[in-house]
Amino acid sequence: MKFGIFYELQLPRPWETGSEQQLFKNALDQVELADGLGVDYAWIVEHHFLEEYSHCPAPEVFLGAASQRTKDIRLGHGIIQLTTNHPARVAERVATLDLISDGRVEFGMGEGGSLTELAPFDRTIPEKREVWEDAVRAVMPMFADGGFEYDGPHFKFPLRNVLPKPVQKPHPPLWVACSQLQTIEMAGRRGMGALGFQFISADAAHAWVHAYYNSFTKRMDKLTNYETNPNMALVSYFMCAETDEEARRRADGIPFFQFALKFYSADRLGEGRDRPPPGTVDLWAEYEAWKKANPEGHAKAISGGLIGSPETIRNRLRKYSSSHVDQIILLNQAGKNSHEHICESLELFANEVMPEFQEMEPEHQEWKRQVLEGEIELEELDTDPYQSRFSENSVQLDPVKTAAAGD
């Protein structure tokens, strides 16, 4: 099993002068530390206009800085929004980052998840999948030598040679953002790695791995000509400390992450609803009020994931490992989790937990080879019980029935 770290670059209110600058400096320090500890991947999102939840609109800049402070860790776009970026600019930035990082880029692609992000770029919720598919068809040939022109329903591009070209040939590994089971299956069908931004149990992971690899091996339908990337990664909440109690105490940012995600979700606001106007909601204050009113819900929210002592986390990871998840991505930078606790958590995990699962990687790769070559046929499991993006312990919020929160 391989391991990654994951960044939304969350910054809850109240904001002070220098808060954003310190946020970026701390995150870069953490990536450098993770590289030295032997963590395999660092993933960072692209989001726009999402106050408190994510202050990361330019992931290529962050990853470019990280590339100069690290040697081995893979630098992952998790993801680039193909709906809000021109394909040529995507190809240029990905290739440039691949050059300056000596070929360490992972190219994750996504659609964008909210009207708040899409509308300023003249995109809508109903069209975003079609725009994403058109962008994939446009961007992939741009990595090849020579000129290219494209005439699609959403993007048109005259004959040009898009420069520079990446170190990795024919292109960096491809991933797609997956927030539900249907997109996991879609990733397999498209021949791309699945970046599972879900927070699910090991039992659900077992079913989702089967769904992904069955789609990859039996129902492949690539969008255009590109190298496939059979990989299934799942994000997990994370905080490692000497005791379970201390880990939960240090992980208060994890329920905030869940709260923020649910607070602005389509399930709560309604499909296609915009978020409240800027500055009208103090998300951290809303979270603190929820926590005070729901102590049992808060306790449940920090009882799952990979939050606990090294022994607790080892036991939970063994279940994921037996499900044949390729990579677990650790979500540690959330809410007001402190820089010191994040670094201590990574160090303890790397020293006391990670080696056991790194030693099992050759065995996992052999299993995967047999699956991909048809020597092992995976059962088509019933995935109906595992459709939810969240575990039963996650933060629960009631839907908004009238105006959006903060009105």
Looking at the domain covering 2-386, what would its CATH class be? alpha beta
Mean pLDDT of the chain: 93
How many angstroms separate the CA atoms of 126 and 156, rounded?
21
Taking residues 43-72, what's their average pLDDT?
Answer: 97
In whole angstroms, give the CA distance from residue 406 to residue 100: 44
> What number of other Cβ atoms are within 10 A of residue 341's Cβ?
19
| Per-residue confidence (pLDDT) for residue 405, from 0 to 100 | 37
Rounded CA Rg of the chain = 20
Query: What is the share, in percent, of the chain residues with pLDDT greater than 90?
Result: 83
- pTM, 2 dp: 0.94
Q: Determine the pLDDT at residue 393.
A: 67
Q: Give the least confident one: 113-127, 190-204, 262-276.
A: 262-276
Q: What is the pLDDT of residue 270?
A: 67
For the chain, which residues make up each domain, given as ranges?
Answer: 2-386
How big is the CA angle at 201 (ends 399 and 357), to the nearest 5 degrees? Answer: 140
The mean pLDDT of 55-70, rounded to a whole number, is 98
